[in-house]
């Protein structure tokens, strides 16, 4: 029934709306709107899945088709109409349908939204195909026009998405992927152009922007595929070319003119040192992605000249979450300055952001040591995302242009751990954190690994797998088909839900994604240590499997079964005495007796070691 919909409920905060002053109305609406970012965040996984689906299908020639009625329809048409000037996409790539047609954009067309047949007919006229994505927008989740449209599209093989502001709606059940934005009652009862419309617009922005980014329509956060159709956009195009190439305005403008106003072409032509035609060919071969067209060329093209301090070295541990940098004495390894900056994984955050984080962390490390920045004798970097030659070229090119160091050593996570946690840089390195993996390096430099298949295929003994198994066991205990466990009450309390059944929306539609679930592992370990049989069994099972992974890394790469130094890393091995003891004991039972065992709390120390070795090797 209509009167039972969340979108039709009365908001107690505004029950005296007509008595408020203008300032009070503004304050009330502002408070209500302030909740929307959190609401959208609860649907981040579904929104990301929708972005991936859109980008993948658009790359194969598919279209994104919005359909809605009233405010929802207008929002879809608006988002579609903004794509061509913003991303230079063809008008047929993102399409907006509104019940009642073009007239309904400006004036309500009575009864248009009540016909599922009309929705199906409008979609049928577009001849939907398997590579198309049809996104139905309806705050109530019950608009017949929209339901008719998505059902026809789904039957034709198109991927279907719904954006609704209610739970368990008819529209959500009719699509492949629902996005449910539970914004609560409106300030003006039933007026879904308010919070529901704002939250919907936020999601539409994410869908098209995210998909276009994935399709190479941006360079960093610059709108390089814009269509300069008016003076504002022409000036923006000039500024972008200036920003990326570092050319003075007259030269940047001349470059853009030579490239017929094509921003991407101008960037590739200048940074690669080729003509416009060659730049276009490279872009075509790279599916329009500037980074791929440039190869190892990066944004920074100017060389930086610095004073040389050969008595100093730098060690950096950089990943997808943060970048940790140590400035140290080359002679003694004494740490002189520590710093931390943002993520520096070039694959996950992009080249510009990653290199900026590296530079910022070095600046801060020198500042912490109260020293002016200089080019050091050597730098060791353990960086995620640079395991291919292209990534190595980017880092070495950056280090040369920025005069970072006289010698540069780039390594992987395992090399850092072994450098920090073993006497001579060889042995076994095991990581048990959100994921899990085991690395080995032999005395003669051969490297290998075991595990590291990710949370779907592997990650045995990891925080995520332990917590996920424990959650399943707690749910089974609630159903009384598995033994009782204290984990049930502890999960309900920690996850801030009112009862066990509320774990379902918390995990599937709430904030408890993989990383958050992994954060529950300490709770399981505490329960195991306190004697809970269910928790203990899970922990022992997973430790057993991870010990087998580590043992496999040793025997598969012909390391001896006794006396091999071991470096431990990851939150479980470093922070849980129970986990660490079970793991080492299980290794011995399998037939492997470790030599010296070293917990590595600061892998960047290993990067300092690598830098010092690099420096000493040339003496």
Catalytic residue numbers read 82, 113
Tokens 């890394």 label which residue? 553
In 3D, which of 286, 284, 285, 259 has the Cα closest to residue 270?
A: 259
Query: Token pair of 109, please?
Result: 């067309």
Output the CA angle 234-240-242, nearest 5 degrees: 105
Distances (CA, A) of 557 to 441, 447, 448, 565, 596: 8, 8, 7, 15, 19
* Residue 282, helix vs strand vs coil: helix
570 within 8 A of 450, measured Cβ to Cβ = no
Q: What are the b/e assignments for 163-191, b being 16+ CB within 10 Å?
A: bbbbeebbbbebbbbbbbbbbbbbbeebe
Q: What are the b/e assignments for 378-391, b being 16+ CB within 10 Å?
A: bbbbbbbbbeeeeb
* Residue 497, helix vs strand vs coil: coil
Q: Which helix (H) or strand (E) element contains residue 336? A: strand 335-341
The three state secondary structure string of 179-200 is EECCCCCCCCCCCCCCHHHHHH
185 within 8 A of 10, measured Cβ to Cβ = yes
Distance CA 281, CA 274 (A): 11
Count of alpha carbons within 13 Å of 281, Cβ hemisphere only?
6
Distance CA 522, CA 519 (A): 7
Q: What DSSP assignment string belongs to 102-147?
A: GGGGTS--TTGGG-HHHHHHHHHHT---TT-EEEEE-TTS--HHHH
Q: Edge-to-edge, what's the strand order for the sheet holding 566-569?
A: 447-451, 436-441, 427-432, 566-569, 597-599
The three state secondary structure string of 43-97 is CHHHHHHHHHHHHHHHHCCCCEEEEECHHHHHHHHHHHHHHHHHHCCCCCCEEEE
Output helix, strand, coil percentages for the chain, rounded to the nearest 5: 50, 15, 35
In 3D, which of 597, 587, 576, 581 has the Cα closest to residue 546?
A: 587
* Residue 311, helix vs strand vs coil: strand
453 within 8 A of 559, measured Cβ to Cβ = no
């Amino acid at each position: 029934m209509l009167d039972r919909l969340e979108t039709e409920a009365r908001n107690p905060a505004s029950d005296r709306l007509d008595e408020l002053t203008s300032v009070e109305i503004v304050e009330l609406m502002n408070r209500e709107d302030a909740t929307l970012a959190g609401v959208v965040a609860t649907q981040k996984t579904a929104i990301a899945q929708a972005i991936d689906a859109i980008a993948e299908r658009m790359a194969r020639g598919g279209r994104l088709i919005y359909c809605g009625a009233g405010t929802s329809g207008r929002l879809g048409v608006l988002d579609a109409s903004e794509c061509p000037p913003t991303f230079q996409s063809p008008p047929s790539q993102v399409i907006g349908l509104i019940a009642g047609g073009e007239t309904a954009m400006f004036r309500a067309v009575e009864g248009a939204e009540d016909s599922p047949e009309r929705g199906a007919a409008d979609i049928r006229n577009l001849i939907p195909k398997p590579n198309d994505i049809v996104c139905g927008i309806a705050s109530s989740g019950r608009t017949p026009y929209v339901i008719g449209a998505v059902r026809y599209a789904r039957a034709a093989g198109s991927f279907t998405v719904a954006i609704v502001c209610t739970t368990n709606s008819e529209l959500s059940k009719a699509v492949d992927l629902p996005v449910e934005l539970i914004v609560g009652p409106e300030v003006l009862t039933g007026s879904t152009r308010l919070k529901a419309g704002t939250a919907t617009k936020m999601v539409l922005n994410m869908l098209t922007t995210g998909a276009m980014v994935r399709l190479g329509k941006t360079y960093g956060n610059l709108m390089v595929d814009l269509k300069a159709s008016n003076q504002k956009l022409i000036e923006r195009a000039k500024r972008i070319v200036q920003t990326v190439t570092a050319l003075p305005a007259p030269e940047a403008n001349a470059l853009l003119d030579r490239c017929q106003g094509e921003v991407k072409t101008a960037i590739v032509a200048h940074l690669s040192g080729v003509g416009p035609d060659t730049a276009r060919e490279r872009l075509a071969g790279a599916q329009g992605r500037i980074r791929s067209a440039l190869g190892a060329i990066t944004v920074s093209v100017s060389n930086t000249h610095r004073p040389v301090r050969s008595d100093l070295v730098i060690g950096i541990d950089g990943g997808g979450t943060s970048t940790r940098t140590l400035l140290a004495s080359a002679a003694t390894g004494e740490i002189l300055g520590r710093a931390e900056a943002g993520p520096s994984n070039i694959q996950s955050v992009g080249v510009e952001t990653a290199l900026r984080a590296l530079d910022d962390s070095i600046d801060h490390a020198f500042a912490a040591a109260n020293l002016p920045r200089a080019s050091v004798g050597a730098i060791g970097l353990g960086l995620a995302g640079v395991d291919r030659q292209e990534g190595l070229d980017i880092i070495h090119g950056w280090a040369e242009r920025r005069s970072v160091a006289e010698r540069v050593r780039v390594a992987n996570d395992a090399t850092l751990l072994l450098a920090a946690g073993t006497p001579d840089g060889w042995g076994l390195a095991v990581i048990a954190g959100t994921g899990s993996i085991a690395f080995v390096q032999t005395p003669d430099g051969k490297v290998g690994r075991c595990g590291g298949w990710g949370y779907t295929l592997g990650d045995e003994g990891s925080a995520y797998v332990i917590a996920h198994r424990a959650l399943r066991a707690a749910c089974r205990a609630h159903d009384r088909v598995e033994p009782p466990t204290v984990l049930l009450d502890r999960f309900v309390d920690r996850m801030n839900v009112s009862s066990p059944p509320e774990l379902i929306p918390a995990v599937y539609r709430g904030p408890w994604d993989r990383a958050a679930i992994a954060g529950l592992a300490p709770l399981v370990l505490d329960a195991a240590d306190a004697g809970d049989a269910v928790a203990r069994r899970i922990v022992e099972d997973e430790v057993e499997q991870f010990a087998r992974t580590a043992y496999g890394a040793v025997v598969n790469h012909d390391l001896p079964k006794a006396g091999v130094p071991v470096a431990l890393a990851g939150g479980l091995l470093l922070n849980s005495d129970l986990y660490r003891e079970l793991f080492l004991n299980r290794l011995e039972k399998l037939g492997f007796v470790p030599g010296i065992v070293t917990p590595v709390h600061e892998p960047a120390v290993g990067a300092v070691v690598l830098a010092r070795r690099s420096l000493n090797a040339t003496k």
